[in-house]
Amino acid sequence: MSETTATIRAATPADAGAIFALMYELAEFEKLTHLFVATEDGLKDALFGARPSIEALVAEDNTRVVGYALFFHNYSSFLGKRGLYLEDVYVQPGQRGGGLGRALLRHLAALAVERQCGRFEWTVLDWNQPAIDFYEKLGATVLPDWRVVRLTGPALEELAAGVQTAVGR
């Protein structure tokens, strides 16, 4: 595929349906649809509700959204700065090879620099060698010594049991 003429822009509420559909495509690609319980309304609230928790960029070819990146801020206590964390980056298979993935990551890197972030990071599945190669070609380092730690469902609820939390924090 030749270099793309797609536009990278901040997502708007009108993009929620397209982003949601691409999120499901990503779950299919990763063979994780059995874990996909997100809803379009939940996504729209997370992006544009009263307390947004994520932001998104979309890659638009003509008037069709063909890729997206979901991201949010985290914080590095060692650097003393916030960071930019990429939750998802996805470009439809028929649109790959034209620079959209690179353009999405370039826009996010520029945003991280503009917001004075100490780092820009994300995870990649260990079997996704094409993505690993792509990220390393961009100058990213895949950290071999770090593992993702996650609590969900009953394990999360069990750990949280009995703790009173303040609402609205």
Is the distance from CB of 25 to CB of 7 less than 8 angstroms?
no
* pLDDT at residue number 2: 47
Is the distance from CB of 108 to CB of 142 less than 8 angstroms?
no
Residue 5: band (very low, low, confident or very high) from pLDDT cuts 50, 70, 90:
confident
Q: Hey, which CATH number is domain 7-160, 1.10.10.10, 3.40.50.150, 3.40.630.30, 3.40.50.2000?
A: 3.40.630.30
Catalytic choice (68, 85, 90, 135): 135
pTM of the full structure: 0.89
In the chain, the amino acid numbered 163 is: V
In the chain, the amino acid numbered 52 is: P
Q: Which range among 4-13, 15-24, 45-54, 132-141 shows the weakest confidence by mean pLDDT? A: 4-13
Identify whether 68 is a catalytic site residue.
no
Percent of the chain residues past pLDDT 70, beyond the cut: 94
Mean pLDDT of the chain: 93
For the chain, the structural domain boundaries read 7-160
DSSP for the chain, please give it. Answer: -PPP--EEEE--GGGHHHHHHHHHHHHHHTT-GGG----HHHHHHHHHSSS---EEEEEEETTEEEEEEEEEEEEETTTTEEEEEEEEEEE-GGGTTSSHHHHHHHHHHHHHHHTT-S-EEE---TT-HHHHHHHHHTT----TT-------HHHHHHHHTT----TT-
Measured CA to CA, the distance from residue 96 to residue 103 in angstroms comes to: 11
**Which is it for strands 81-91 and 7-10: parallel, antiparallel or unpaired?**
unpaired
Beta-carbon contacts of residue 57 (< 8 Å; ≥ 6 apart): 8, 9, 10, 11, 68, 69, 71, 104, 107, 108
* pLDDT per position as a tens digit, 56-115: 999 999 889 999 999 999 999 999 999 999 999 999 999 999 999 999 999 999 999 999
Measured CA to CA, the distance from residue 37 to residue 40 in angstroms comes to: 10
